[in-house]
């Protein structure tokens, strides 16, 4: 349990007769596991968190019966057809009263924050996964789990990235649906702007002026929107281009770095390499070499 998730304290309703099975695998930077077991109470305490090195999230999809979860002063009950997100750097309690079957993804905060703003706000909150992008995310998790043994390492990495993208879209849709009034209008504008940026990363002329015109808002209002997320339009364009370029290098390891740089709107390879290292901690060539060492 500690290796698959986090160090936890487990309390069994019937320790003598307890039965359970945990299987896990890796989808690139996403950990995937399936846990089937009799009732258990899991607790993550302050003492467990002291040794944590990187903030991680668990995304849990119950399939057989409800789970109860408490974190950050919030108590929620998640039925099959929904999912919840648990922060690994905060204490929590997680339990189910009847035998259960859970799919669980483990993702880093950095990876999720690249795709959704302020992911912490979704913790200890039930996300409906019966329709829309959340439903598509849940269906893809189920299909990936059922086919995991037949996938190559390259396919696993690709599916892991796709799951992260779908999770980000699902959370953004859930955020937009829960907002109201003035905040809802700003959230809708910001979501439309972010989607436009992601769809036009390869356009060398992508700029605040072009984005404002395409989204039907003023340039001043566009810049004001990004104050809500403590950033700027230019930072968003640059960061999204770097993430897309990294994913391209990982998916197509033989592509020249210069071609990837120009494809995603960077002026030259030197600028691209400098920004890439600042964001990911290694140069594009170092990243490409590390990706090539992984088995196909």
pLDDT per residue as tens, the chain (296 positions) = 888 998 999 999 888 999 999 999 999 889 999 999 999 999 998 888 876 667 899 999 999 999 999 998 888 999 999 999 999 988 999 999 999 999 999 999 989 988 888 888 899 899 999 999 999 999 999 999 999 999 998 899 999 999 999 999 999 888 766 554 446 677 778 888 988 998 999 898 899 999 999 998 888 888 888 876 667 888 889 988 999 999 888 887 778 999 999 888 888 889 899 999 988 889 998 888 876 655 54
pLDDT at 63: 96
* Beta-ladder partners of 71: 74, 92
Instruction: Report which secondary-structure segment, H or E, holds 277.
Output: helix 269-280
Question: Do 25 and 148 meet the contact criterion of CB atoms below 8 Å apart?
Answer: yes
Bridge-based pairing of strands 67-71 and 92-96 is antiparallel
- How many whole angstroms separate alpha carbon 41 and alpha carbon 86? 15
pTM (whole model) above 0.75: no
- How many whole angstroms separate alpha carbon 166 and alpha carbon 119? 14
Nearest CA to 5 out of 37, 40, 28, 34 is that of 34
pLDDT at 177: 61
């Amino acid at each position: 349990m500690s290796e698959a998730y986090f160090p936890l304290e487990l309390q069994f309703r019937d320790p003598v007769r307890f039965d359970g099975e945990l299987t896990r695998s890796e989808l690139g930077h996403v950990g995937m596991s399936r846990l089937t077991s009799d009732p258990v109470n899991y607790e993550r305490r302050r003492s467990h968190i002291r040794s944590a090195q990187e903030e991680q999230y668990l995304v849990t999809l119950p399939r057989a019966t409800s789970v109860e979860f408490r974190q950050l002063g919030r108590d929620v009950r998640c039925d099959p057809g929904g999912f919840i997100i648990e922060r690994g750097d905060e204490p929590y309690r997680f339990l189910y009263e009847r035998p259960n079957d859970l799919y669980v993804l483990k993702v880093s905060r950095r990876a999720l924050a690249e795709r959704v703003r302020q992911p912490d706000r979704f913790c200890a909150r039930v996300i409906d996964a019966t329709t829309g992008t959340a439903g598509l995310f849940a269906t893809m998790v189920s299909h990936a789990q059922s086919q995991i043994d037949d996938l190559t390492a390259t396919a696993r990495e690709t599916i892991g990235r796709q799951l992260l993208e779908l999770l980000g879209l699902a959370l953004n849709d859930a955020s937009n649906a829960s907002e109201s009034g003035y905040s809802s209008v700003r959230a809708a504008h910001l979501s439309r702007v972010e989607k436009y940026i992601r769809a036009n990363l390869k356009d060398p002329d992508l700029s605040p002026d072009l984005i404002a015109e395409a989204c039907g808002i003023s340039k001043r209002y566009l810049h004001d929107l990004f104050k809500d997320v403590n950033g700027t339009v230019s930072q968003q364009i640059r960061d999204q281009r770097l993430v897309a370029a990294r994913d391209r290098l990982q998916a197509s390891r033989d592509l020249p770095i210069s071609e990837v740089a120009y494809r995603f709107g960077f002026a030259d390879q030197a600028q691209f390499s400098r920004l890439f290292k600042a964001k990911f901690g290694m140069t594009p060539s170092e990243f490409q070499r590390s990706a090539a060492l992984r088995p196909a």
